[in-house]
Amino acid sequence: MPQYLELLAIIERLHRLLLDVVKDEFERLAILDINAVQALLIFNVGDNEVTAGELKSRGYYQGSNVSYNLKKLVEAGYMHHEKCHIDRRAVRIRLTDKGRKISSIVGELFRDQAEELRAQSRLGNVSVGELNDAFRRLERYWTDRIRYIY
C-alpha cells in the first residue's frame, strides 16, 4: 500500500511539473497570453481537426473546463472553430498558423527533453519505452476498474 500511494503522488507531481516546465519555456520566450494547459492542448490537437468532445475522448485534454480554454484560444487567435455541417451542435476545432507555431515550440521542447534524457541516461537502466509500457498497463487497469467494476 505505501508504494502504491507513493506512485499516485509521483504521478500527480509529474503532471504539475510538466505544466511548470511548459510554463517556464513560454515565459522564457515571452509568450504570456496562454497558459501551460492551453499550450499542451494546442500541441495535442496538432494537425488534426476535432470536436470539443473528441478532445477528451482521444486523451488530448484532461481538464474539466475544456470549453473555457477553447474559447480563450479562439479569442487569442490560436484556434479556428466552426459548426459541424453534419451535426450543428458539434463544433470542429483546428489550429491557426499562430497555433501551429505554439505546437512547434512545445514539440521542440519535448524533442530536446527526450534527447537529454537519452544522452544523459537520466532514467538509469529503464527506457522510456519500458516506462510507457508500465504506465499503459496502469492506465488499462484503471480503465477496466471504471468500466467493469462498480
CATH class of 1-145: mainly alpha
Q: Distance between CA 103 and CA 46 in Å, rounded?
A: 6
Q: How far is CA 1 from CA 8, 10, 31, 120, 148, in A?
A: 11, 14, 43, 32, 23
Query: Buried (b) or exposed (e) across 45-83, using 16+ Cβ within 10 A?
Result: bbeeebbbebbeeeebbeeeebeebbebbbeeebbeeee
Predicted TM-score of the model (pTM): 0.84
| Local confidence band at 137 (pLDDT 50, 70, 90 cut-offs) | very high
Per the model's pLDDT, the better-predicted residue between 147 and 59 turns out to be 147
pLDDT tens figures, 46-105: 998 888 778 777 766 666 678 888 889 999 999 998 876 666 667 888 999 999 999 999
Q: How far is CA 58 from CA 54, 61, 67, 107, in A?
A: 6, 8, 16, 19
DSSP letter at 64 equals S
- Domain range summary for the chain, segments of one domain joined by +: 1-145
**Cell triple for 126:** 529503464
pLDDT tens figures, 17-31: 999 999 999 999 999
CA 61 to chain centre: 6
Per the model's pLDDT, the better-predicted residue between 85 and 131 turns out to be 131
